[in-house]
A and B are shown apart, each in its own frame.
Chain A
């Protein structure tokens, strides 16, 4: 048994021109969240409680795209989603389409613990939230001025190049050709891309793994769009071998069943954790861009991404601790 380990992320795909002070803010938040998780682990909290605690903190801080600070739909509203999974027994809970729940990850936990189902969405999930008495706020609480500006820019960028209703020939214009030379995530120039998702994975001192992921989704998404974050096996997965949380282009992650595939190549192909992470990032994503964090039941921690940077931090019981943005 290798002791506890923890990793957190605040999304993959970072604008290389992100101001240095914003980079510092992100590092400070990641460090604070890591320390929160580390103290909980030192107090012998079970992995499932630690991932919920850390993701709540990430949701509450407006810096990353989840909870307060969530990306906006095409209508300028916030629709949040999250999922959580306990490696022990592979119990899981997920929520989508939340508009008033302050901490989606805790509602996902309640779906797991207190409902007969694994996944509740939209008005049914909101009704469940009211019944469970979780903290509710007005939708405005989640919307930041910065994200309003980002939505406007995303709409401008998309209306020219990426509107799926425009017939295909427009893709051949020189504007589109020029855009291909710009760093992109999810069809958006990286400067207006809000890294999707926050997440945390933990193995506790007893070797139990857990994973939690939460997001506001994709900037300028269609109302009703569900991404990878609430999908067990795609954005989040935990079993008795490992726990995984993914971030990036949701559609590529879903197609790749990325989180489950890390566990599956360990289970069925006998790869180690870092090998498994490298394998799925290289072989399973096709053209998609994404990143992930993972821990194994014997206390290893790993991360991987094929896009420009990932907000991340990790630590383990033997004293290792690292917070980073770039490769």
Chain B
């Protein structure tokens, strides 16, 4: 028992020789966000507040694909999405298609708390943001030079594969242009000393995605889920995570099959195609697990008994 927290900055084909100037700011970002989360848990903030706080911080960090630093659609625009869920009440909120909201995760929380709905998208979500008075900025704030270059690269590499006019085989699409284009999503899961759980996930989506594309992140049960057993945030190839109902399945395996958190997470990560998925999860009893079938996952975790780690690749590598 005791509190626990885990967070991620995306899973994918992260080169083992990732340049120092790209690795270090992310490691630093993970460390910074972990410290913020741990401090908030120690100050007895609720897990729901903690995951929102940490994901806001990850969104504000330009090196992760969410908020500022979001990857770009085919048209060079940003369309962000996010969701949040409270394990005790199973209340949840989600947003998609945001173009001006600084912190998508906080708007998801407002959808959960201040509307009769769970999920608002595109113009309706933007109108709700203005009505609620959350911070909005010009869309250009979210666009980083690195992502402009990444889109150009992706479009040059994928012009044929991603165009949906000719028939295509789904599994072969969206090859990573620079080995990082599939690294999307940030997330945080937390449990307090009383076993209250919460999960939050946020993303800019997939490089060169079609305008209007919705991935797994805002889908309750796919990219994000929390109940009285555990809280889960997933990252990777959205289409695989949706069809695998990944986040719900970790909880369902604990609930219906009696597996432990680690067993359930391993089972789910094993059951989706290799190279498509990573997840972080905490249980009501304060266990934490971070598993992935990709080359790497930017991740960090800490528990009340003093354990703390930050990692990118599988243990034993680098």
Q: Which residues of A contact B239 (CB under 8 A)?
A: 116-118
State the Cβ distance, B212 to closest chain A Cβ, in Å. Answer: 2
Whether the pair A224, B245 counts as a contact (CB closer than 8 A) is no
Q: A306 an interface residue at 8 Å Cβ cutoff?
A: no
Whether the pair B128, A224 counts as a contact (CB closer than 8 A) is yes
Select from chain A the residue with minimum beta-carbon distance to B249. Answer: A264
- Number of A residues near B (Cβ < 8 Å) is 52
Whether the pair B117, A255 counts as a contact (CB closer than 8 A) is no
Q: B29 an interface residue at 8 Å Cβ cutoff?
A: no
Q: B50 an interface residue at 8 Å Cβ cutoff?
A: no
Q: B148 an interface residue at 8 Å Cβ cutoff?
A: no
Q: A301 an interface residue at 8 Å Cβ cutoff?
A: no
A61 to B131, CA, bound (A): 37
State the Cβ distance, B220 to closest chain A Cβ, in Å. Answer: 5
Whether the pair B243, A232 counts as a contact (CB closer than 8 A) is yes
Q: For B252, give its contact among A128, A231, A264 (CB under 8 Å).
A: A264
Whether the pair B91, A255 counts as a contact (CB closer than 8 A) is yes
Select from chain A the residue with minimum beta-carbon distance to B91. Answer: A255
List residues of A (270-316) whose CB comes within 8 Å of B's CBs. Answer: 286
Q: Which residues of A contact B225 (CB under 8 A)?
A: 257
Among A2-10, A119-127, A175-183, which stretch is in contact with chain B?
Answer: A119-127
List residues of A (91-138) whose CB comes within 8 Å of B's CBs. Answer: 91-92, 94, 96-97, 114-128, 131
Q: When A116-B168, A268-B252 are in contact, do A254 and B212 touch as well, CB less than 8 Å?
A: no
Q: Which residues of A contact B164 (CB under 8 A)?
A: 114-116, 128, 131
Whether the pair B257, A268 counts as a contact (CB closer than 8 A) is yes
Whether the pair A234, B220 counts as a contact (CB closer than 8 A) is yes
Select from chain B the residue with minimum beta-carbon distance to A86. Answer: B243
Q: Which residues of B contact A119 (CB under 8 A)?
A: 213-215, 219, 242
State the Cβ distance, B196 to closest chain A Cβ, in Å. Answer: 17
State the Cβ distance, B174 to closest chain A Cβ, in Å. Answer: 6
Select from chain A the residue with minimum beta-carbon distance to B96. Answer: A121
A85 to B222, CA, bound (A): 15
Whether the pair A261, B122 counts as a contact (CB closer than 8 A) is no
State the Cβ distance, B177 to closest chain A Cβ, in Å. Answer: 14
State the Cβ distance, A136 to closest chain B Cβ, in Å. Answer: 16
A314 to B242, CA, bound (A): 28
Whether the pair A116, B174 counts as a contact (CB closer than 8 A) is yes
Whether the pair B119, A97 counts as a contact (CB closer than 8 A) is no
Looking at chain B's contact residues, the main secondary structure is mixed
Q: When A264-B252, A268-B252 are in contact, do A121 and B122 touch as well, CB less than 8 Å?
A: yes
Q: B36 an interface residue at 8 Å Cβ cutoff?
A: no
Select from chain B the residue with minimum beta-carbon distance to A162. Answer: B116
Select from chain B the residue with minimum beta-carbon distance to A286. Answer: B90
Whether the pair B210, A124 counts as a contact (CB closer than 8 A) is yes
- Number of B residues near A (Cβ < 8 Å) is 53
A307 to B127, CA, bound (A): 33
A246 to B178, CA, bound (A): 41
State the Cβ distance, B60 to closest chain A Cβ, in Å. Answer: 25
Q: A248 an interface residue at 8 Å Cβ cutoff?
A: no
Select from chain A the residue with minimum beta-carbon distance to B168. Answer: A116
A187 to B161, CA, bound (A): 47
State the Cβ distance, A77 to closest chain B Cβ, in Å. Answer: 11
Q: Which residues of A contact B167 (CB under 8 A)?
A: 114
A182 to B273, CA, bound (A): 49
Q: Which residues of A contact B162 (CB under 8 A)?
A: 116
Select from chain A the residue with minimum beta-carbon distance to B246. Answer: A233
Q: When A254-B118, A269-B257 are in contact, do A224 and B248 touch as well, CB less than 8 Å?
A: no
State the Cβ distance, B1 to closest chain A Cβ, in Å. Answer: 26
Q: When A118-B238, A260-B221 are in contact, do A92 and B243 touch as well, CB less than 8 Å?
A: yes
Q: For A116, give its contact among B114, B120, B170, B222 (CB under 8 Å).
A: B170
Q: Which residues of A contact B170 (CB under 8 A)?
A: 91, 116
Whether the pair A233, B121 counts as a contact (CB closer than 8 A) is no
Q: For A226, give its contact among B119, B123, B128, B249 (CB under 8 Å).
A: B119
Q: A36 an interface residue at 8 Å Cβ cutoff?
A: no
Which of the listed residues B90, B94, B165 has the most CB atoms from chain A within 10 Å of its own CB?
B90
Q: When A91-B243, A224-B125 are in contact, do A233 and B212 touch as well, CB less than 8 Å?
A: no
1/0 contact trace for A181-216 toward B, CB 8 Å?
Answer: 000001100000000000000000000000000000
Q: B209 an interface residue at 8 Å Cβ cutoff?
A: yes
Q: When A122-B121, A223-B127 are in contact, do A232 and B213 touch as well, CB less than 8 Å?
A: no
* A residues whose Cβ falls under 8 Å from a Cβ of B: 85, 90-92, 94, 96-97, 114-128, 131, 162, 164, 186-187, 221-227, 231-234, 237, 250-251, 254-257, 260-261, 264-265, 268-269, 286
Contacts A120-B210, A227-B117, A255-B220 supplied; 8 other A-B pairs, CB < 8 Å: A117-B209, A125-B212, A222-B124, A224-B123, A226-B119, A233-B219, A233-B248, A257-B220
Show 7 A/B contacts (Cβ-Cβ < 8 Å), sorted by A: A117-B209, A131-B164, A226-B121, A232-B245, A251-B116, A254-B221, A255-B220
* B residues whose Cβ falls under 8 Å from a Cβ of A: 90-92, 94, 96-97, 114-125, 127-128, 161-162, 164-165, 167-168, 170, 173-174, 209-215, 219-222, 225, 238-239, 242-245, 248-249, 252-253, 256-257
Question: Which 6 pairs, one residue from A and one from B, show the smallest C-beta to C-beta distance?
Answer: A124-B212, A224-B124, A124-B211, A268-B256, A223-B124, A257-B221
